[in-house]
Structure 1
Amino acid sequence: MIKQAKKQLLMAAAMAALGLSASASFAKDIVVDTKGEVPYVIDARNVVARSGTDLCWRTGYWTPAAATNTMAGNLPVGCECDKDVVPADKCAPAAAPAAGARAAAPAAVAPVGEKVKLAADTLFEFNKAVLLPAGKSKLDDLAAKSKDMKLEVILAVGHTDRIGGDAYNQKLSEKRAAAVKTYLVGKGVEANRVYTEGKGEKQPVTTGKCNNLGKDSGKNKKLVECLQPDRRVEIEVIGTK
């Protein structure tokens, strides 16, 4: 949190130097609840920084789920910054009670988040983005579980190992995430509820475990096998029960 706050203050200061502001030329400030990781750049007043064209400045923490779950008053901050991402029902203000009517206490609905990391060897072979039968079985289970909740968004983030060029691996990670989305949509999940992203080789889970195994090459069987956990798609399901 301290590092995040420092980064945000530095970004806000840099924007001020460029003549940009968090709120000076806009109808109202977007004041963010700073609990957890804030997905937008904020100034010292916790006001979202915006460009001259009224676009909110995102941080590296931004995802559709973060835009939905981070609050600005009684509504998600994404209702102001990313209306095309946050479900419309999340941005509807509560109806005022009729005159003389006693307002009932709203029932607390806790968001339910289930993070599923699919095993790499059940999803993709080396250098491929084709789902294997074992991976399809796990996605079948995931699609079935999503029907038991009010689904908000499914995040599918693709990854690769370090073998190959950065640009190639970025595209491969995107293809893997897209393959998961295509399969889930085929199982009845709404396409606009599935958000895909590729991280390329930037977020390995093997870290230094596979060093000193020889040349980074697809022909190096020991290295390919060691790096298999990095060839994955991480899926996060966000919804309410």
Structure 2
Amino acid sequence: MKKITSTRKYLIEAIVLSLLLISTMALAETQAGTYYKQGESDAAKIPGYNVNDRGVISRNTTGLCWRTRDWTEENADCSCDPQAPKCQKPVEKVAAPTTPPAPITEPEKITFSADALFDFDKAVLKPQGKESLDDFANKLKNIKYDLIIAVGYADRIGSDDYNKQLSMRRAEAVKNYLVTANGISPDRIFTDGKGEANPVTGDSCVGTKKTKALIDCLAPDRRVEIEVAGTQEGNY
């Protein structure tokens, strides 16, 4: 009887010691902040999550990952918590398209031969002169311009006063045609007559009498220059 009692006593002491050991281990794990679910592998721990024996994060029946108390946004797993700040992709700002400014063109000077626009010693536009001005006006449709300057010139045959008036009449004839035939506002066209000034031929033509040879030689001096400044929008 005593032998049975002693055996029971030893069994009870062994059970108590086992329970104390288990409690001590559980307390130590709790103080260390480590929590595991059944079947968890110590060799495959993932910070902030419970893992199974295969090292895969454990999930509940709805597919959500099991977190531990040490879970933070910094150690979040993006497959479990894609909404975590570290898992968000920065939104790229798309710059609004900008329209490049139209190129500013320098003042452009176009020279028409007076003989192509008028007969010699005349200020009435010839048919081919009108065609040349029509072509010029069509090119203006691609330009935002502020002012057109038409300046007439004459050769040195004749008096200074006469040539001054002739060059002015030719410039006015060009303006009137651009206004009446091409619809350009007269306020945008400035005219001037320079007479014999700024000869192109210089001293290359000899003589003073109105001969055919001298008239032909001085042809480059008889001209109308048109200057336009503006913003080009198309091919000029």
Provide the TM-score with structure 1 as the length reference: 0.52
Does 1:182 pair with 2:173?
A: no
When you count helix as a share of all residues, which structure comes out higher? 2
Tell me what 1:88 maps to.
none
Tell me what 2:195 maps to.
200
- What secondary structure does 1:203 align onto? coil
Structure 2, unmatched stretches of 5+, are 1-97
Q: Is the 8 A contact 1:120 1:231 kept in 2?
A: yes
Tell me what 1:239 maps to.
230
Structure 1, unmatched stretches of 5+, are 1-104
- What secondary structure does 1:111 align onto? coil
Tell me what 2:146 maps to.
152
Report the Cα distance in structure 1 between the residues aligned to 2:221 and 2:121, rounded to whole angstroms.
Answer: 12
Match of 1:111 among 101, 104, 110: 104
Report the Cα distance in structure 2 between the residues aligned to 1:130 and 1:224, rounded to whole angstroms.
Answer: 18
How much is the aligned-residue C-alpha RMSD, in angstroms? 2.0
Q: Is the 8 A contact 1:124 1:232 kept in 2?
A: no
Report the Cα distance in structure 2 between the residues aligned to 1:203 and 1:132, rounded to whole angstroms.
Answer: 25
Larger Rg: 2
Does 1:120 pair with 2:120?
A: no
Report the Cα distance in structure 2 between the residues aligned to 1:177 and 1:232, rounded to whole angstroms.
Answer: 10
Tell me what 2:157 maps to.
163
1:80-119 counterparts in 2 under 5 A? 108-112=101-105, 113-119=107-113
Report the Cα distance in structure 1 between the residues aligned to 2:104 and 2:149, rounded to whole angstroms.
Answer: 15
Q: What is the percent sequence identity of the aligned residues?
A: 52
Provide the TM-score with structure 2 as the length reference: 0.53
- In structure 1, give the amino acid aligned to 2:110: V
Q: Is the 8 A contact 1:124 1:231 kept in 2?
A: no
Does 1:130 pair with 2:124?
A: yes
Provide runs of 4+ in structure 1 moved above 2 Å. Answer: 105-115
Q: Is the 8 A contact 1:122 1:133 kept in 2?
A: no
Q: Is the 8 A contact 1:129 1:175 kept in 2?
A: yes
- What secondary structure does 1:162 align onto? coil
Deviation at 1:107, TM superposition (A): 5.2
Deviations, residues 11-51 of structure 1 (Å, cap 9, x unaligned): xxxxxxxxxxxxxxxxxxxxxxxxxxxxxxxxxxxxxxxxx
Tell me what 1:142 maps to.
136
Tell me what 2:213 maps to.
222
Report the Cα distance in structure 1 between the residues aligned to 2:185 and 2:145, rounded to whole angstroms.
Answer: 9
Deviations, residues 115-168 of structure 1 (Å, cap 9, x unaligned): 211133311222111112222111001111112221211110000000111111
